[in-house]
Chain A
Amino acid sequence: MGTRVTNPRTMTDDRTRQGSARVNRRRFLAGAGAAGATGLAGCLDSITGGSGGEGPIRLGGVYLLSGIAEALGAASRAAAEVAVDVINEDGGILGREVTAQFRDHGENPQQQIRSLVQEENVDAMLGLTSSGVTLASGPTVEQLGVPFTLTDIGTPFITEHDVDTYGDYYEDEGGTAAGVNNLFRTNANTSITTYGMAKWAVDNLDVTRVANIGPDYAYGTQTWDYFKAYSEGLGADYEYVESVFPSLGASDMTPQINQVLSAEPELVFTSFWAGDAVTFVQQASEQGLFDQVTDVFDTIGADPTVFSALGDTMPEGFHYSGWYWHSAYDNDNNQNFLDAYANAYEGTDTILIPSFTGGSTWAAVFIYKQAMEAAGSTNPDDVIAEMEGLTFAEDPRGSITLDADSHQASAPMVIGETSRDDDVPYDGVGLTNTETYTLDRSTATDLLEGSDLPPGV
């Protein structure tokens, strides 16, 4: 139906008109017509939120399932699916079956969130693999109103509600309080993670010269800011000798690694994850960084996919952190989680221990079960009310409580020594001598005094 303007390819068209392309073209159009009809059918679906009181309880998840962080999102999805299976084997939620569907962030994650809530009528949401996307989705999530549990998100801003002290992230330039009423978080955020690292360093290391190397985006700069603030609060007397940020997904970090080395640090703080964590260790080993420093930290580098990809390249005796580590918790709940996970993925390509987002994702699904059964329905407001202050005693990482005000779980971070002594189902290192740290709001506020960073717990 286009207004025909001109067509310099008329000759080609005339020729192909006689040729074999014609039927293909017609088939293509028929296919397009069928696709259009499917689309129209989708348009006519009802748009009311939630599944009401009948049929299965629907969970929706949005994670990065393609591109640079695919390993992260796929691991979270894997843990969530095992949790759903275990719940269904045990009678579901409120006696109803539970289904879960997952979407890739794509280039418009808010559209995926809206689609799951408004088209697929999910009762509750899990997700997100990017702090930037999470902050940008805040207003959308708030308007949609369904409970949304973050399982993989670092930024402390999203669980900070004190707009009077820290400014409203969404309304004031430079504001950092972005708390949203129906958002909860089950993983240890950046504030908790860096506090644990700073505390462990103050208690265990005798170093003064500290350097930073991290990915060049909000997460890299934020973790470094928080680590310095907590170190200062804890009375460490460090000299910060260098701070560099290779670009996210950089294939060559050698210039920045050499910059760090020439500053002669004793402790190197890093915040790489997934592919970047692998690249860093490979290239830092080649440059001899691990031989020249006392210790190397990584905020969320302790992950089976990272350690298995590195194999022998990952040196022993350095202190890596994460939000979950399979051998760090000696309790039955963790053992049940590990057994269920290994059973579910036996014989597949998936590494048979959960990733660093495993504990938080598993917990999020079970928290929905507990909250919905306490509320007696899937009504979003009732479920949210139950979740505020809820204690989930069966968490693999030890009992956690969702803070009634901040909505941040009292989840521990874990730090341990890279070692071959850990029993892992791949060729590479694990962690030993692990320690866990949690953080409460008053401690965080005291330690961060003097910086303008929000505690976010």
Chain B
Amino acid sequence: MSVESSVRGMDTRQRNVLLGVAAVLAIVAPFMVGAFQTALLAEVLMFAVFATAFNLLYGYTGLLSFGHAMFVATAAYMVAKVFRLVGPAIGLEAFGGLEVLATLVVAVVLGTVLTTLLAVGIGYLSVQLTEIYFAMITLSFSMAIYVLFNQDIMRQVAEAFGFGGVADLVATNGSDGLTISFNALGEVDLFGFTFRLVDISSFVAVYFVCLLLFVVSMYALWRVVNSPFGMTCKAIRENPGRAEALGIDVTAHSWKTFIISGAFSGLAGSMIGVIRSGALPTLGYWTTSAEPVIMTVIGGPYYFLGPLAGAFTFRYLRWIIDTLGFGENWQFLFGTLLLVVVLFARGGIAGAIVRVRDRIRQRGGGDETSAPEPAVEGSD
């Protein structure tokens, strides 16, 4: 890894410059692009965290989960529940002008904690299996959770067993979902600055919350994959049998990875719930589970930033397709792109960028601006 990155990766100075540029862009973007694009970017950042967390299991550990939507949906429902019910009930009004922010903190923390607990339970059972069986068991769990939300089963059970008091707490309102009111996401008074947490005419406040969580999450996940823990993940991916022989408890390590992956997916799901002002059961449907899979495949599962590149590509291409008026046929257009990536660029976008850069370096002898020679083009 270290040899490889010194040869093929960028050096530290280059990386810092790139990170600096990205940071400046991320900070000025919401003031330049308007409300709709700010909301889109905030959601893309959260999907990038979701896909990167998913890839911890897939690209790094070799376990393809087809049920990660369960974490996003569970967290989004929890957030909706906190804003609708829990916040007012536990007296967050005491925070005065900070009530909305205090509710947000409680909502995101509870959303993440609940999904982590879910990942502990479901992960324990799921990591007993590998390969297609792992994909199937995660899919099964997520569809079961989808049905719990869609059919409002928890409320029905609570009422059937006479726990009428908790029925409101676990009710999911069936196919209509839980919507957070305009007021609940409203006025914040922070050191004299007053703004709305979710203001449809700017989305700036919620964007910066997402950006903060994005930076923290991506740094944490980056530390995880570059730690001995992450090396162990890769050892399991490369050869579970050999990893076992080296004394690694493959099942236990996969379980821990599953829990970390679920927790960060939940964190992302919490903010998706805030941006969308509520949760609909479709957020837990298997099509949502397919999104991080597609993002990761497009972006490149063997690069840390691959899922991020995939999330940006997926969401912005989707937006372009909608804007051009082909929204109802987006699956066809996207299927074509996916086919191209799978057939011709299996390292995904991140892999393609790295290869292009390598080729420029090799050919140009370090002159990064030199274009590829025409003769090479003609070799098709």
Contact = CB atoms under 8 A, between A and B. Distances in A.
A3 B33 CA distance: 29
Contacts of A4: 4-5, 8-9, 303, 354
B117 interface: no
Contacts of A106: 322, 327, 330
Which size class do B's interface residues fall under? 35 or more
Contact of B168 (A17, A114, A174, A216): A174
A142 B182 contact: yes
A174 B169 CA distance: 11
B285 to A, nearest CB: 9
Interface in A187-237: 216-218, 221
Interface string A7-47: 11100110011001111111011001001101100111111
B169 to A, nearest CB: 8
Contacts of B377: 23, 26
Contacts of A25: 344-345, 352, 355
A171 to B, nearest CB: 5
Interface in B154-211: 168, 171, 174-177, 179-185, 199-201
A140 B181 contact: no
Interface in B1-19: 1, 4-5, 8-10, 15, 18
Interface stretch (A88-96, A130-138, A294-302, A447-455): A130-138
A114 B9 contact: no
A111 interface: yes
B234 A29 contact: no
B302 A1 contact: no
A130 to B, nearest CB: 9
Contacts of A155: 176
A5 B9 CA distance: 9
B130 interface: no
Given A5-B1, A21-B344, A171-B181, A114 B35 contact: yes
A139 B35 contact: no
Main secondary structure of the interface of B (DSSP, over half): helix
Contact of A107 (B39, B151, B282, B372): B282
Contacts of B354: 2, 4
A142 B181 CA distance: 10
A430 B309 CA distance: 54
Interface string B27-42: 0000011111101100
Nearest to A62: B327
Interface in A278-315: none
Interface in B291-307: 300, 302-306
Contacts of A135: 176-177, 179
B344 A24 contact: yes
A32 B84 contact: no
Interface string B208-233: 00000000000000100100000000
A111 B35 CA distance: 11
Nearest to A9: B346
B325 interface: yes
8 contacts: A2-B306, A9-B347, A35-B317, A132-B175, A155-B176, A168-B181, A170-B182, A171-B183
Interface of A: 1-9, 12-13, 16-17, 20-26, 28-29, 32, 35-36, 38-39, 42-47, 65-66, 70, 101-104, 106-108, 110-112, 114-115, 118-119, 131-133, 135-136, 138-140, 142-144, 155, 168-171, 173-174, 216-218, 221
Given A2-B306, A13-B346, A21-B343, 12 more contacts: A3-B305, A8-B238, A23-B379, A102-B325, A111-B43, A115-B319, A135-B176, A136-B278, A143-B182, A171-B181, A171-B184, A173-B168
